[in-house]
Amino acid sequence: MQGVLAGFATLGAIIALGFLLAHLRVLGADSQELLTRLVFFVAAPALLFQTLSKAPIGEIFSSGLAVGALSFVGTAAGYTLLARALWHRSTGDTVVGAMSSAYVNAANLGLPITVYVLGTASFIAPVLLLQLVVITPLALAILDTVATEGRSSVLRTLTQPLRNPITVGSFLGLLWSLAGWQVPSTIASPITLIAGMAVPGVTLAYGVSLRLGPRPIAGGSGVELAVVCLLKLLVQPVLAYAAARWLFDLDGRALLAVTVVAALPTAQNIFVYATRYDRSTTLARDSIFVTTLLSVPVLLAITALLA
């Protein structure tokens, strides 16, 4: 219980600091934009490189990776169908909404929570790799293509991932890990310092947006937000449980692990991407806010039922 609450309390304290700094006018709307750009172009690529370059590749390619992929695809597809058929969302808005519905907070909350619930962080590695190396590059490629619509060529489209710092950082980190290379200390030290800005930077920006943006849960479609939260906290963990139990015959700790990971709240990275591309920013912000609050009882209930 203490480990779960500690992870949420840490993020909550930094969000509250961002809110307070915005309230006192130490930080303004321009600061929010500056922080998100700094995270997107500098800190997040450094963090992704650092994380993936040390990832235990042998532990990643497991049934947990397949379960994570199936639960993500099923949940994101559910939102996409509703967004296009009922709400007529654009492609960019649909991408952000789908990510808000199915992209879990694997790094900031997943690591401490899996250590508390399962005694090890190894269960989070498959989903972390899936999101960083597959899902994020695909989503950003679509958002980049939409942003450059009318100015795009075949060559530009094919090389788009090479111009996205998040994608470049992820693939360089994976390459380093697969090759078994060691990052020289003269390079690793500044990367570590820069990577350390990522989580507090985006969390502070998120706190600023809560103070200066529309009031939480009041700035967009309440129905759409409710659907996103239902998909994230109920549909995704149910899909993960079903796939793990009946497709891969997992039980015990392995079954608990994939279900807990799928029930993690929406990752704060989605707010950075939404702000960077100016797509469904309010939905991304509010889904993070609501799913983070509601995921506490959901995670505790899953642990009580399956532990």
Query: CA 26: distance to chain centroid?
Result: 28
Report d(CA 168, CA 48) in Å as an integer: 9
Distance of CA 182 to the CA centre of its chain: 27
pLDDT score, position 112: 56
Report the amino acid identity of residue 186: T
What are the structural domains, with CATH classification, of the chain? 2-306 (1.20.1530.20)
Q: What is the pLDDT of residue 169?
A: 83
Lowest-pLDDT choice from 18-27, 62-71, 154-163:
154-163
136 CB contacts (<8 Å, ≥6 apart)? 166, 167, 170, 269
188 vs 107 pLDDT, higher one:
188
> What is the Cα–Cα distance from 214 to 104, expressed in whole angstroms?
24
Q: What is the largest CA-CA distance in the chain?
A: 55
Residue whose entry in the numeric block shows the structure tokens 């129905």 = 223
CA distance 297 to 69: 24
Give CA–CA dist 180/183, Å, rounded: 10
Q: Rounded to whole angstroms, how far apart are CA atoms 44 and 275?
A: 14
Quick one: pLDDT band at residue 57, thresholds 50, 70, 90? low
What pLDDT digit, counting tens, does each position of 252-282 carry?
888 988 999 999 999 988 988 998 899 999 9
* pLDDT, greater one: 120 or 240: 240
Alpha helices for the chain (secondary structure H): 2-23, 29-38, 44-53, 57-60, 63-85, 91-102, 111-118, 125-129, 136-147, 154-158, 165-179, 185-195, 198-212, 222-230, 236-242, 252-262, 269-277, 281-306
pLDDT at 101: 97
d(CA 237, CA 232): 8
End-to-end CA distance of the chain: 13
Residue 42 · residue 51 · CB < 8 Å: no
DSSP-derived secondary structure letter, 124: G
Give the pLDDT confidence score for residue 108 in this predicted structure.
Answer: 65
